[in-house]
Amino acid sequence: MVIALGLGLVTFYFESERIDDSMVDYALDEARQFIADVPEMSAPRKLENRAAIDRALRDLVTRPPRNAPGDYLIAGLYDPDKNLIAEATELNVEAVERTANGSRHPFPTSSDSDYRKFLIGERVYIQVITKLFAPDGKVDGYLEGVFRVMPSIIKDVRDTTLRITATVVLAVLATTLLLYPIIRRMNRRVVRHGEELLDANLGTLRALGGAIAKRDSDTSHHNYRVSLLSIRLGEAVGLSGEEMRSLIKGAFIHDVGKIAIRDDILLKPGRLDPEEFEIMKTHVDHGADIVSHTAWLEDAAKVVRFHHEKFDGSGYQEGRKGDDIPVIARIFAIADVFDALTSERPYKRAFSLERSIEILLEGRGSHFDPRLLDVFVAIADDLHHVYSGRTEADLADELYTASNPYFTDMMVS
């Protein structure tokens, strides 16, 4: 309907302009024919020609039109200096004269003729002015006329314009109605394929994250919880939909690079020695390389590569600090450390919520972004209460519910 209305308005405008131009052409043609029929007009300043010119001007405003859809009410002759030297008018045209004289005459400059249109009531008038040339080609004067368009012509113009406009609008609407079922069916098919592709991508994401989690700790609890904590913190600080999608993907596969780490280092129960730790740090490089080969996971690299950077620049691998660390990596770092502190691991017991918060605050401004940490601390109690002690299946369902809207909204937009 919007397209039909828009095209209808455009058609109405251009059709009106076209018909207006045709009426102007009629008026100009009539004036040019008048000049051709009166030889004396080629030398209007000669006194012997003045009587013939006066008669011709009177004839112009009193005779019926020949080829034009209207008639002349006023005719005037001007010298080269644009001074009026002869004029003839029909009776009772004072209102037309006032309107025609209400502005400067549209004396032509670059062209041989010029015009302007005006309305009095519902009647259309066209004021035309045409150059007169001497035998040597110089301008020897100007012929002005006020042309009145017949009411029947105006009615025909309106009817024709409305008819053409209505035809365009109806054609667009009819085409839309014919195409709508096809477009709707195709759109449903695209949406269905999009949903299937999204499910496949998310399934791959879960499988990839789950694979490394199983290898690392024989459970996906950590991946689910840290992803949920990241989502809630991202929502609390007002991340955009695009940033949220990158955060979710990056959170779930943040340690994918550990696939490349030897078991004797990855599964070592005690503290790593310096050489082993250097090897362990390379998991962020391996992870970034892995996700770089898949377009759908490329944006996850911001979390995968930078989640071990620290706000003061003391992290690894690049030693970035402050806002040079992507915001989603700064968010994830808080969620990752919080879950590690509050979770039981083979080499440690879980810290209490209070002690975990204290440890986080000790890293405020050094390990963690102070602004993001303050937001997280304000919601940490509620998040811990909701997500701690949940089964892996419950966490998986919760993560699906929390993350799915961000990906389905992307499809709709």
Residue 102 has pLDDT above 70, yes or no: no
Measure the CA–CA gap between 82 and 358, rounded to whole angstroms. Answer: 94
Residue 184 vs residue 220, higher pLDDT: 184
Report the chain's mean pLDDT, rounded to a whole number: 84
Least confident piece of the model among 106-120, 200-214, 309-323, 368-382: 200-214
Token couple for 370: 């102070």
Which amino acid, residue 370?
P
Q: Return the pLDDT at 344.
A: 81
Residue 402: in which H helix or E strand, if any?
Answer: helix 392-412
Residue 67 has pLDDT above 70, yes or no: no
Q: What is the 3-state secondary structure (H, E, C) of 145-211?
A: EEEEECHHHHHHHHHHHHHHHHHHHHHHHHHHHHHHHHHHHHHHHHHHHHHHHHHHHHHHHHHHHHH
Task: From 222, 140, 251, select the one nearest 395 (Cα to Cα).
Answer: 222
Q: Return the pLDDT at 175.
A: 87
Do 76 and 144 meet the contact criterion of CB atoms below 8 Å apart? Answer: yes
How confident is residue 346, by pLDDT bands cut at 50, 70 and 90?
Answer: low
Measure the CA–CA gap between 383 and 229, rounded to whole angstroms. Answer: 7
Measure the CA–CA gap between 36 and 137, rounded to whole angstroms. Answer: 15
* Distances, alpha carbon 336 to alpha carbons 148, 224, 267, in Å: 85, 11, 19
Q: Return the pLDDT at 147.
A: 83
Do 107 and 10 meet the contact criterion of CB atoms below 8 Å apart? Answer: no
Task: Give every CB contact of residue 138 below 8 A, 6+ residues apart in sequence.
Answer: 80
What pTM was estimated for this model as a whole? 0.57
Token couple for 103: 């502005």
Task: Give every CB contact of residue 306 below 8 A, 6+ residues apart in sequence.
Answer: 284, 318, 320, 325, 326, 329
Domain 2-160 has CATH 3.20.20.70: no
Measure the CA–CA gap between 245 and 299, rounded to whole angstroms. Answer: 9
What is the pLDDT averaged over residues 376-384?
96
Do 379 and 214 meet the contact criterion of CB atoms below 8 Å apart? Answer: no
Token couple for 84: 């009026």
What is the pLDDT averaged over residues 158-162?
78
Considering Cα of 303, then 307, then 309, then 312, what sign does the dihedral take? positive
Token couple for 219: 């459970």
- Which residues in 237-265 are b (16+ Cβ under 10 Å) and which e? eebeeebbbbbbbbbbbbbbbbbebeeeb
Shared fold status for 2-160 and 194-412: no
Token couple for 92: 């009772």
Residue 271's CB: how many other CB atoms inside 10 A? Answer: 8
Cross-strand partners of 146: 74, 127
What is the pLDDT averaged over residues 291-303?
90
What is the pLDDT averaged over residues 134-155?
80
* Distances, alpha carbon 13 to alpha carbons 108, 152, 162, in Å: 26, 20, 10
How confident is residue 382, by pLDDT bands cut at 50, 70 and 90?
Answer: very high
Which listed CATH number (1.10.10.10, 3.40.50.2300, 3.40.190.10, 1.10.3210.10) goes with 194-412?
A: 1.10.3210.10
Residue 41 vs residue 266, higher pLDDT: 266
Cross-strand partners of 364: 368
Residue 410 has pLDDT above 70, yes or no: no
253 alpha-carbon distance from chain centroid: 34
Q: Return the pLDDT at 347.
A: 66
Which amino acid, residue 291?
V
CA dihedral 322, 323, 326, 328 (to 10 degrees): 80
Least confident piece of the model among 47-51, 184-188, 372-376, 381-385: 47-51
Do 87 and 57 meet the contact criterion of CB atoms below 8 Å apart? Answer: yes
Domain ranges of the chain: 2-160, 194-412
Residue 412 has pLDDT above 70, yes or no: no
Residue 413 has pLDDT above 60, yes or no: no
How confident is residue 86, by pLDDT bands cut at 50, 70 and 90?
Answer: confident
How confident is residue 342, by pLDDT bands cut at 50, 70 and 90?
Answer: very high
Q: What percent of the chain has pLDDT over 90?
A: 32
Summarised one tens digit per residue, pLDDT across range 11-43 is 777 776 776 677 777 777 777 777 777 777 766
Residue 330 has pLDDT above 70, yes or no: yes
